[in-house]
Structure 1
């Protein structure tokens, strides 16, 4: 009579052990893939692109080396999305502290996602739901990616997996879709308009910008003109 009880007690333990093994395996996936993604000939896809493939939804993406992207676009993305990209270690602690202070004070919080964090999310994580849980995973993983992957490679991957509209992934597809040119031939104005589209590509159209988007693009353009000290890791 005692043996069945021991088997009953061992059931939850077995389930726990299996759960731990699954979690460890899931944690190892991004750690291993990060190393595999370092070489420039590897062209990663995002989780959103995988979702489109799984649901038979068409999308456009053509990989382009960062050297074939107009510098104006690269600089505009840095100044629009993450001005401290070349200086932080995957997470901008100053911005993060500001968000935490605002939350504790009951004020509306602003975004504090760095380009590295966005790359991490796009490569390995989900968008919604459970954003809080995702952020807990995203922070240490972003620090890890920044430690093992060069900044220029992080930016190259980001530019090629970021979404610039429904089903429009990567800067080459975005440049051709919105302006009919390659990423290499983007003008400074086109580059800044594309950069300020990134936070909300479903509602912001760089080819048909409203007054607000034009003002924001002009602000980023002024920042780009003074960005030399902020983009040194990418030139």
Structure 2
């Protein structure tokens, strides 16, 4: 009951921090890394450029408006790919990633994967799609200690998230979900190719796609 009460409460108020933000801060402190700073600035969805909203949907979860937390086709394709390849591909939706970042921890354990299911379903039940997207964009990691699109936009582009261009939004989306290996301020050829692909997907979906949320 406490979990549901907290989740319902978070439907209406800014999230002060996520479990993953806390995990990262504590982990660095335990390693005596006192220089690690958390950059985190909450903003409402109407202050995040539609380009950014569309970029993460185009990149990670194009069925986001219609599913109930899980994209079973993407999960099946990821499982089939991972059986054949050493490069692991994820099949997580934006809802699953929000649940993981907000309440759980990163890793591939079956315990975490098991907990992810009811937490994701709870978000889908208690929150709107717009709220899930809003929280996701505010707590996703975009670099070492950089959490949320507002902090990322100001750090990398010296502007508010509401002013992100399609190219800038696609670049931020391109480094997810591993912004430590893939860097916004030093994009590899792989990141640049993904950025271009995301922009094509954004053009295909169109900004009117966001009206389905």
TM-score normalized by the length of structure 1:
0.79
Determine the C-alpha separation between the residues in 1 that align with 2:71 and 2:116: 13
Gaps of 5+ in 1: 1-27
2:60 to 81, 95, 106: 81
Determine the C-alpha separation between the residues in 2 that align with 1:111 and 1:189: 24
2:9 paired residue number: 36
Determine the C-alpha separation between the residues in 2 that align with 1:47 and 1:117: 14
Change (3 A) 1:29 1:166: farther
CA RMSD of aligned residues (A): 2.0
1:139 paired residue number: 117
TM-score normalized by the length of structure 2:
0.87
CA contact (8 A) 1:196 1:217 kept: yes
SS in 2 for 1:126: coil
- Of 70-79 and 199-208, more deviation after overlay is shown by 199-208
1:12 paired residue number: none
2:84 to 107, 120, 139: 107
SS in 2 for 1:198: coil
Gaps of 5+ in 2: none
CA contact (8 A) 1:60 1:173 kept: yes
2:40 paired residue number: 61
Structure having the higher Rg = 1
Change (3 A) 1:227 1:140: same
Deviation at 1:230, TM superposition (A): 4.5
SS in 2 for 1:90: coil
Change (3 A) 1:227 1:112: same
Matched residues, number: 203
Determine the C-alpha separation between the residues in 2 that align with 1:30 and 1:201: 29
Determine the C-alpha separation between the residues in 1 that align with 2:184 and 2:89: 23
Deviation at 1:186, TM superposition (A): 1.1
Deviation at 1:212, TM superposition (A): 1.9
Change (3 A) 1:95 1:230: farther
